[in-house]
Amino acid sequence: MSIGKSIKILTVTFLCINLSSCNGQGSITSVNKEVNTSASELATKKDTLEPVIFPNFTNQIAETVRVMFHDSKDNFWFGTHSGVFKLVNDSLVYIDGIKSESGQRVAIRAIREDVNGKIWFGHTDGISYLNGDTIINLYESDGLISNDVWKLTPDTKGNIWIGTIKGVSKFDGKNFMQFELPEGIIDTTLGVSSTKMIHDILEDSKGRIWFSTNAGIFIKDNNDLTAITEKDGFKTNFVSKVIENQKGEFLICGSKGLYVYKEGYLTDISSDLFEESKGISNITETSNGEIWFNCGRSIYCFSNNNLTEHRISEGNYGPLAYQIYIDRYERVWFVGWGGAFRFQNGEILNITKDGPW
């Protein structure tokens, strides 16, 4: 089965953004499209409206867990709409001190660890990091391009790249530098959007920085900038996330599908996975090559050329995941509206304040 049309992408310098395209051959050649659980039968019942089953918020970590992180010291962190919790001796401890400039609690959207072992938090009123037992908060008044932070990525050189609603800042530990990218357009399907929205930031194995934006993808390689946009084969410039897989390929998801990029070729693979275009906002890969992603509340695993949909129970879709995360024990987590969940023994298990951890 043909996987789709492959398009050659050319690299340009920072000042030249428009790219030329030509046909080529992608590296993935076939897919066996299969939904191999009871979800397959459910999916074929097009005339049956399935009920919306709302989560039970009793004893959840939070009504909404936006992000989680498992650090190098075996600590688990959970970012919620009211702050950060750390798992200590199987109990959740609230981390005080991450606040807005006016002293209010913030919603946590990003948690990462830098090369020196410091834990960083991106949130609705700037960024913060843990220095020993002290929280340091940094805001627009310190040089950040915007307090409305959505992504935060430490690189291997010790810099912190911050993605906001108004673009990108880079923090070297002392100073902020603003990094200009071409503007896109507002995504009217989302509650929050802008022409300079940064959805995700990735440092790849070669030290290049990838920005997922409303204008496509931009790849910073020293002083060069490569753009991958609708002109090069995307069905939309609204790109949600990019990951680098074990084959050296880059999996790209956005509001209209899933793509593979390798050695200058862009391949649409979602057209062979789904009959119609689907928006994909989260994607990750396990060490054994399983690709997990979601389309709204539908959670999928692509493994050995098989596509499997997983649900909490028959008739109940998975959680509305803001993040799909692989911890250091190779366990797959889904956190979002409804709390935290983990894939375990073939089922999606709700993780509450009491675990099971």
Other Cβ atoms less than 10 A from the Cβ of 64: the count is 19
The pLDDT assigned to 317 comes to 79
pLDDT above 50 (res 110): yes
pLDDT band at residue 55 using 50, 70 and 90 as cut-offs: low
The pLDDT assigned to 231 comes to 92
More confident residue, 16 or 142: 142
What gap in Å lies between CA 326 and CA 84, rounded to an integer? 19
Identify whether 44 is part of a domain: yes
Identify whether 235 is part of a domain: no
What gap in Å lies between CA 77 and CA 94, rounded to an integer? 10
Q: What is the pTM (predicted TM-score) of this model?
A: 0.85
Q: Which of 294, 292, 276, 295 is nearest to 284 (CA)?
A: 292
Total domain count, the chain? 1
Cα distances (angstroms) measured from residue 29 to each of 1, 5, 26, 72, 258 = 7, 11, 7, 37, 15
Identify whether 290 is part of a domain: no
The pLDDT assigned to 78 comes to 98
Identify whether 127 is part of a domain: no
pLDDT band at residue 314 using 50, 70 and 90 as cut-offs: confident
pLDDT band at residue 28 using 50, 70 and 90 as cut-offs: very low
Q: Where in the sequence is the domain holding 323, given as residue range(s)? A: 31-60+295-357
Q: Which of 83, 74, 123, 85 is nearest to 105 (CA)?
A: 83
Identify whether 308 is part of a domain: yes
SS3 (DSSP) at 42: helix
DSSP 212-225: EEBTEEEEEETTEE
Identify whether 350 is part of a domain: yes
Sign of the Cα pseudo-torsion (320, 334, 275, 23, in order): positive
pLDDT band at residue 313 using 50, 70 and 90 as cut-offs: confident
Identify whether 357 is part of a domain: yes
Identify whether 135 is part of a domain: no
pLDDT tens for 158-191 read: 999 999 999 999 999 999 999 999 999 999 999 9
